[in-house]
Structure 1
Amino acid sequence: MKSMPFSLAALMRGLMLLLLVLPALSLQADPAARALRPDLRLLIDISGSMKQSDPENLRGPALELIVRLLPDGARAGVWTFGESVEVLVPHGEVDSAWRERARAAVAAIDNSGQRTNIPAALAAATYDLGSMDPRYRSSIVLLTDGKVDVAASPMANATAARQVLSETAPQLGATGIPVHTIALSDEADWTFLRSLARESRGIAEKASTPDQLSGIFVQSLEMVAPAAQVPLESGRFQIDDSVEEFTVLLFFDGEAEAMSLRAPDGSRLQADNGAAADWFVAEGFALVTVRQPQPGSWSLAAPDGARIKVTVIADLNIEIDPLPNSMPAGRASELGLRLRDGDRVLSDPAVLGMFGITLSISGPNGYREDIAVSERYGVPETGEYRISIPAFAAAGRYQLVARVSGETLQRELPMHIEVTADPAESTISSRPAELPDASLTIPMLTLAAVVAAIGFIAWWISRRRRKRRLALWEQRFRDNGEALDDPAMDGVSAAPEDSAPR
């Protein structure tokens, strides 16, 4: 029997090694296998108070913008909620058919809800929580102008809100499903929404006016599905021959003025020229997509003060293992970065040596740091750069921009991180689990020793209790004046058979 704990320890050690080794080997065998596609789940408040918070129903154009920007192959779904939750756009793979359904559904966004059932909305968006596809990185974006309102009872509402923060949000955060919250109007429960985002490792935003929704939605999409961009200088940007499609997104104040694109051959693309480009113009923003563009220098005519970004779909792109959207101050982290050419991760030193790779970090109080990745780390054998990110001392919003530049190619990939004032306990890394050290023998033997000690203590306590019970019966016989050797009790003794001097 003494060998049993060691056999059990060996079995447990083998199982733990198997559980650790298999995922690590499957991920380390191909760095590209870790690239996850985005899965966006949008929750839109349609309670009656939205008549005041969003009188022009700008939620519709903002949603259509997201629908147009979502990449093919992603997954997405849209739910509306008031007292109950309704599926506005079924959750599924983003393709042309999904986009058509989503655009048609935009008109259904109204203000017919009676309450603000946020718990039910979160439950609906995570309907597949136990069976999510591991190839996707799921995120939730929640837009509301109110607070948790599930019943007429304030106590019921408070209980429901507390349950979301103490149970639902931590579970989602531990599962890797951040909830990014957007508060529309000052009437929204900002304390609750900020806590919901923090507990689930998401980011909280506040839109002072409805026309800010589109910009906030786009930033949320950047966190869910980072898209490669090309830098813009004085209205000009460079398109290389690997680009299959580019999209120009403009945010501007006031009325839309004449906007146009000039191609490298001198031809001009305008909103009324639908054959060459796809234009979508709404209040406060415009989106133009050009497919199979000419390589070379493009220029853009836009309203003064417009905020512009140019995203590209190309064979050659930056790929990252994203960090959590939210992390405590003082915690070190590590970022995985690769260059992908189609389905292949570039690992040839001669090819990688042609590109300059940098990582720029900006944050609160004027914080700025530039990391020359190519110079500091050299060319990795696997093609994957593991970049050490410094621990951020101050809480606040940080932006990380990875940049790749070559002779004719330029790419940028922006990321956002919310640093909180929570104390740091460990280092965050996007690297898969490492194999264990030399062995687990010492900790497993320690565990076996603890189990054996607990078993011995339980046996000893049980034996003591048995002795005390027998002694009690012996005392009762004595109190009744009956001797232990009474003939009437021949063959019966209150003393234990294995009694020993104490």
Structure 2
Amino acid sequence: MKWLKINTVLLAAVFSFWVPSSQADTQFRVIVDASGSMLISDPDKLTSEALRLISNLAPEEKATLGIWLFGEEPRVLLPESTVNKATKSKLASYVNSYVTQDVKTDLEAIIKLLLDTPDSGSLAPDFNRHWILVTDGMVDISLDEAVNKASRDRILNELMAQLEERGIHLHTVSMTGYTDKALLESLSLRTDATHTEVAIPEDLLDTFDRIFTQASPSDELPFDGNQFVVDDAIEELTLVVFHENGIQPHVIKPSGSLLSLVNDSHVSVSASDHYTLITVREPDAGVWKVNNVDLERSSIRVITNLSSQATKLAPIVFVNEPIYSTVGLFQKNVIIQDENILSLVTVTQSLIRLSGEQKDTVFSHEMARTNGQFKQRLEGIAEPGNYELVSLVDGKTFSRQLSQYFTVHPAIDFNGTSPGGNLIAFSAKPVNLKLNVLRSNVKLEFNYNNGTIETEEMPLVGQGYWEKIIPVSADEDVKVRAKLVGMTQTGLRFDYWTPFWHFNRKGDEAPTVSLDDATPASLLLMAVPSSNRDLMPVLVPPAISIVSEEQEKEGLPSETDAVKADVSDVDEMVEKVDAISSTEWVMYAGLNLAGIAVIAAGIFLYRRIQKNKSLRSEDIDDV
């Protein structure tokens, strides 16, 4: 076995000369509104700082970055290229000088341009596409509203389909409350991305930081007050700290001396008005302190051979959809299953709801250890919004933290319209392709003034959504809502009740339909339905169920059978570790045979070429 491994390493070294040394795994394209109103929405040009932030966060040679402006016409601010020192320097010279004075906002044109623009830089075959749109307006290309609506419809249909087909995550950021929220939110929901409404310009920095973390998750160290502990397994740490303009952070090393914020062989610093990135290579073990920063917004990313990994969360989670989370501890990419070590480790998960500057902790609970991993089940989240799931690993002599961001949203968009005559129509359209419409169903519940309640199935139409057309009798007055019994593509079942709509008809007049502002009193305290009878359902905080050893042996409830097929990242890593001993002989032998075959073919071709040369020279001599 040893000589096989040595041969494999030598062959790999030979072949490494034939392929690029590194490839970027993430593409960032940023689209910035250049209309004149941005001068009011972002007077201090925090957008420019946010652009520099994402370029500073990206590891060099591991991501590409391009920046476009849009208004009356789309244009390039920074051509897309691999992130490196030259790119960062070029960006720093560009971002403060661009002009925002356009009078129109042609969103359709810029999305078309980017879809037609080829990828640039050295990108890996399976790279991720993360595009970020920052705007303070809506589709505004003409004084004729019909022209604007036609452009908006093309974005939601033709261009949306192209974004989905190419796997592009289009994160949208609203700089004011006057943007077309429905359009921007739909773009993000359909493309598995986040939509954020920025209350103040400073929040833009936090938004870009979260988008980067979602695109490139990393191990972190937790803050304990203004302190954090570095252990011997930390190879490199990066402090991402936010602060007031003109304030310099103070970082105190375990020795008590102040860290010099000057670039050298061990320290790299990227400073801006409202944030500073400080990278320390081979940091001293011990207690570090940070002063003059906003600790709530700051973080510490690390590179380490003692890492934690968690089940990947979908960027979009439906209201009331169960969430299954598993956390594992790894030493040099090998999962730790030694009970003597794991018995000293506790993992606590906290769910935090994000709303501008405000962070509300919904719950915090210790995870159960089973089969060498830490597991927890959330029965569902009832309140839509942006959330962060924080997993804190406490190993007594070390600690790690994982931050996972996701959006909670209803699985369907339920709407009522008046198509004409005495008819009204209700439609329920999935907001994300994660919903399996063929295995889901929607029922309408009609509430009449006399107290009668009736239910009726909504038919699924060919376009992939549910629709029901209803004739309305004279003087009819009805409240209606829909119940979705949903199933995700991975087989997770959940229920969701829509808000009430109200329709009525006065005599022979055309019927009217509208969203009902008043919710019946009997429903104000209605809890989230739970499939687990042992759990008490709750309003906003999700019900928590601990996966025990007995449940592992007996199997999960029937509605989660499909989850077993959707193996978590942690479980995949475990399977790879377990399988290596039985397959490594075949793998190494195969690699060696392939390498020998290539070398043999090269020798054969070389001899053939030499022989042909010899024959040609003999022919020349004969002449």
Fold-level match, TM-score > 0.5?
Answer: yes
Aligned partner letter, 2:280: V
Counterpart among 181, 185, 193 of residue 190 in structure 1: 181
Contact residue 327 and residue 418 of structure 1 kept, 8 A = yes
Deviates more, 1:173-182 or 1:215-224: 173-182
* Aligned equivalents of 2:110, 2:53: Cα separation in 1: 22
The answer as to whether partners of 2:175 and 2:199 remain within 8 angstroms in 1 is yes
Q: Distance in 2 between matches of 1:152 and 1:421?
A: 34
- In the alignment, what sits opposite 1:180? 171
In the TM superposition, what is the alpha-carbon distance from 1:68 to its structure 2 partner?
0.8
What letter matches 2:72 in structure 1? E
Letter in 1 for 2:362: Y
For 1:40, the equivalent position in structure 2 comes to 28
Taking CA–CA contacts closer than 8 Å with sequence separation of 6 or more, which of the two structures ends up with the larger relative contact order? 1
Match of 1:264 in 2: 254
Partner residue of 2:145 out of 144, 148, 154: 154
State the aligned residue count: 390
Tell me if the contact between 2:350 and 2:361 (Cα under 8 Å) persists in the aligned partners: no
CA spacing shift, 1:59–1:321, aligned 2, 3 Å: same
Partner residue of 1:330 out of 304, 308, 320: 320
Question: Does the CA-based 8 Å contact 1:170-1:200 persist in structure 2?
Answer: no
Cα distance, 1:270 vs structure 2: 4.5
Task: Describe the shift of the 1:257–1:69 C-alpha distance in structure 2 as closer, same or farther (beyond 3 A).
Answer: same
What is the alpha-carbon distance in structure 2 between the residues aligned to residue 178 and residue 227 of structure 1?
19
SS in 2 for 1:52: helix
| Distance of 1:251 and 1:312 partners within structure 2 | 18
8 A Cα contact 2:241 2:295, kept in partner: no
| Secondary structure in 2 matching 1:60 | helix
Q: Which has the larger radius of gyration?
A: 1
Cα 1:261–1:138 shift into 2, 3 Å: same
Which of the residues 275, 285, 290 maps onto 2:280? 290
Q: Please tell me whether residue 118 in structure 1 is matched to residue 107 in structure 2.
A: yes
Contact kept in structure 1, 2:307 and 2:329, CA below 8 Å: yes
Which amino acid is 1:368 matched to? F
2:96 to 86, 107, 113: 107
1:117-150 per-residue CA deviation (whole Å, 9 max, x = no partner) reads 2223223444479999553232221101111234
Question: What amino acid sits opposite 1:178 in the alignment?
Answer: H
Distance 2:310 2:75 in 1: 34
* One-letter amino acid matched to 1:372: M
Residue 404 of structure 1, CA deviation: 2.5
Q: What does residue 54 of structure 1 align with?
A: 42
Residue 311 (structure 1) aligns with: 301
8 Å contact from structure 1 (residues 333, 427) kept in 2: no
Using the TM superposition, give the Cα deviation of residue 227 of structure 1 relative to its aligned residue in structure 2, in angstroms.
2.7
Deviation of 1:415 (Å): 1.2
Work out which of the residue numbers 371, 392, 395 in structure 2 matches 1:406.
395
TM-score (norm 2): 0.56
**Which residue identity lines up with residue 199 of structure 1 in the other structure?**
R
RMSD: 3.4
1:379 to 367, 372, 378: 372
In structure 2, which of residues 214, 238, 241 is the aligned counterpart of residue 223 of structure 1?
Answer: 214
Amino acid at match of 1:144: T
Q: Which runs of 5+ in 2 are unaligned?
A: 1-23, 355-359, 412-483, 491-562, 568-623
Give the direction of change, closer, same or farther, for the CA distance of 1:394–1:234 in structure 2 (3 Å limit).
closer
Q: Percent identity?
A: 25
Paired letter, 2:195:
A
The answer on 1:302 being equivalent to 2:297 is: no
Q: Which has more strand, going by share of residues?
A: 2
Question: Does the 8 Å contact 1:117/1:149 carry over to 2?
Answer: yes
Cα distance in 2, alignment partners of residues 338 and 127 from structure 1: 42
User: How many Å apart are 1:233 and its aligned residue?
Assistant: 1.1
SS at match of 2:168: coil
SS in 2 for 1:210: coil
Aligned pairs for 1:160-175 (under 5 A) are 160-169=151-160, 172-173=163-164
CA contact (8 A) 2:346 2:366 kept: no
Q: Which of 76, 84, 90 lines up with 1:87 in the alignment?
A: 76
TM-fit CA distance, 1:424 = 6.1
Shift of 1:43: 1.3
SS of alignment partner, residue 412 of structure 1: strand
> In 2, are the aligned partners of 1:328 and 1:424 still within 8 Å (CA)?
no
Query: Contact 1:316–1:340 at 8 Å: present in 2 too?
Result: yes
- Distance of aligned partners of 1:49 and 1:388 in 2 relative to their CA distance in 1, 3 Å threshold: same
